[in-house]
Amino acid sequence: MFNINNINDELFGKVIVNPTRRELRDLSNHMETTTEFKSASYVSEVRNRSAKNTYIVDEIETGVDQMEITKAKADEIAAKVFEYINDKEMIRVDRKMGMNDKFSFNCRLYISKNYARIAHMWNNTLFNPTDTENPDLVSIYVPEWPERIMFAYPESGVTFILGSDYFGESKKSFLRMAMYKVKQAGGLGFHAGSKVLRVYDKNNNLKDVGFIMFGLSGTGKTTLTIHDHELTGEEKAIVRQDDVVFMDENGYCVGTENGFYIKTEGLNPDQQSVLYKAATSENAALENIKVDENGKVDFYDTSLTSNGRGVILREEIDTTDDTVDLEKANKIIFITRRNDIVPPVVKLDPKQALDAFMLGESIETSAGDPTKAGQSKRCVGTNPFIMGPEIEEGMKLKEILQNNPDMECFILNTGSVGAKENFEGEKLTIKVSTTIMKEIARDNIEWIKDDEWGYMVPVEVEGIDINKYNPRNYYTSEEYAKIANMLKLERKAWIAKYENSVMDEIAVTN
C-alpha cells in the first residue's frame, strides 16, 4: 500500500534511475524527428495544459479560482495508479530547482518509460541535483492513463499527472508546488521573468536595475525577458529567469530554472535573435513544431498547433550570467495585452499595484485555452498556478511594496491602442515595449497623473513618439467613455468573485 508521504522506487516494477541527458534522448528516439539543427523534435497528442482537469487536494483552503478534490477521492485514484504501475518500467529523474539554498527544492519526476521525451525535456529545465535521496517535491506522470486528471497534494509535495502527454504539465507541477512552499515560508512565488538592465541613468551614473515581468504565456513575457534592448558598450541586458521567481520580504528574487520553455510561433532571427539562436541549437528540444521529412523546421507553420514550444538551455542565451537570482526587483512590470484604451505604459502606487496583481488583465492564449485564444482574460497575478486563497498573495505583495518604497510598479501594454470597427489599433511593437523598459531603467520618463484613472502616464519617452500611442486620440469622448465604463464594470465583476475582505482592500481604480 502506498503512503503519499513516502513515494519511493519500491512502488514501481523497475526504475531507470537518473539517466544522463544523452541517455534520455536515446530513450526518446522512437518519438524523435531529428531537425536540420540536429536537435530533437517531438509531437504530443495533447498540445496545451489541461487547466480544467487540474485539482488541488482539500488538505488546504483552496482559492476562488481553483478546483478542489477531496483527499479521499485523490487517494482512491492514487491507489489505482500505483496498482497499475507496480509492475511497469518507469524513469526517475532527480533535479534541483534553484542554484543556492534559499527557496531551493529537490525535485523528483517518475514517468512511464515510453514517454522518456518528457523526462528529456524536463531534465533540461532544472539544475544538477545535490541530493538525490531526499526529494522535497515529487511528480508521478502516467500519460497513458485512461482519464485525464491532475491533482496536487500541497502539504505532501506530491502531484499526479494522468492522461496527458503535454510536457508543460510536468514543468508546472513542480513550479506550482514550489510556489506554495515558498508562500508557507514567508515569501512569494511569481509567474514572472527577471533580468537586469545595466544603464546610465539621467544623471549619467552607470547602475544595475532589476526587473521582474509578470505575464501570462504568450503575452510577450519571454521576448521582453530575453531582449537586449539594443544596449551596447557598458550598457547591457542580463537575463536571469524566464518563468518563475521567488521573492522574499526585501524584494530579493530567487531564480528557479536552468532552461527556458519558449513559444516558437513566428520565431525569427531579425526580431528575436537571442531566442532564435538558442532554439536552433542542437541542444534544444522542440515540441509540436512543424518539421518536414528532411528535418526542415518551420516556426511559422501552426498546422499542428499555435502553441509550438521549445526547451532551450539557459547557458545558450548570450545575455545570461552566472546566477539566476536578482538582488532586488527595483521595477515590477505587469504585462497586459489589450487593444483599446490601456496606454502603452502606466506607473502605479502600491495600492494600484495590488489592483493590477489581483485583476491580472491580459488575453487568453493558445497555451491556456486554445478555444478562447485572443479573448479578454483575467488571472490573479497572471499566475494560473496559485494554490490557496489568492488574496493572501496580493496582500503580501502590497506589504512588500510598502516596506520597500524604492520598488516601483508599472503596467506595460504589449497589444495595441485605439482598436475599433475597421481598425485593429496602433500596434505596440517589441521596439516600443523594450524602449519603454530601457527608459524606465534610466529613470528618464516624464510622468503626469491621469485624473480619470489615478495612475501616472508618460508625457515624453525618448526614442518614441508617445503621443502616437495615446488611446484618447483614437476615440471620440463618447466612444472612450463607453469603453472605459465597460472596463470598470468588468473589473468590479471580477473583484466581486472574491471575499468581502478583498473588497475592503481593493477599490477598483475609476
How do the pLDDT tens digits run along the chain, 510 residues long?
Answer: 678 889 999 999 999 999 999 999 999 999 999 999 999 999 999 999 999 999 999 999 999 999 999 999 999 999 999 999 999 999 999 999 999 899 999 999 999 999 999 999 999 999 999 999 999 999 999 999 999 999 999 999 999 999 999 999 999 999 999 999 999 999 999 999 999 999 999 899 999 999 999 988 778 888 899 999 999 999 999 999 999 999 999 999 999 999 999 999 999 998 788 889 999 999 999 999 999 999 999 999 999 999 999 999 999 998 999 999 999 999 999 999 999 999 999 999 999 999 999 999 976 655 556 676 667 789 999 999 999 999 999 999 999 999 999 999 999 999 999 999 999 999 999 999 999 999 999 999 999 999 999 999 999 999 999 999 999 999 999 999 999 999 999 998 898 887 554 444 444 444
HEC string of 431-442 equals HHHHHHHHHHHC
Q: How far out from the chain centre does Cα 70 lie?
A: 28
- What pLDDT does residue 302 have? 95
- Residue 442: how many CB atoms within 10 A of its CB? 18
157 burial level (CB within 10 Å; 0-12, 13-18, 19+)? buried
Q: Indicate the pTM of the whole model.
A: 0.93
The answer for 259, left when phi > 0, alpha when psi is -120 to 50, beta otherwise, is: beta
CB-based contact 505:358 (threshold 8 Å): no
The three grid cell numbers given for residue 308, joined into one nine-digit string: 509550438
What are the cell numbers at 405?
518604497
The three-state DSSP-derived secondary structure of 125-148 is CCECCCCCCCCCEEEEEECCCCCC
Decide if 93 contacts 172 (C-beta within 8 A): no
What pLDDT is stored for residue 271 in this prediction? Answer: 78
Q: Please tell me the distance from the alpha carbon of residue 241 to that of residue 103, in angstroms, as a whole number.
A: 15
Q: Residue for cell digits 478546483?
A: 67
Which among 118, 119, 43, 34 is positioned nearest to 305, based on CA atoms?
A: 43
pLDDT of res. 53: 98
Cα–Cα–Cα angle for 470, 474, 478, rounded to 5 degrees: 115
The CB density around residue 168, as the number of other CB atoms within 10 Å, is 23
User: What is the rounded CA–CA span in Å between residue 249 and residue 38?
Assistant: 45
Q: Which residue type sits at 430?
A: I
The confidence score (pLDDT) of residue 475 equals 97
Strand, helix or coil at 184? helix
Sequence-distant contacts of 376-380: CB under 8 A, at least 24 apart: 376/338, 376/490, 377/216, 378/494, 379/65, 379/216, 380/63, 380/65
How many residues are given for the chain? 510
- What pLDDT was estimated at residue 369? 63
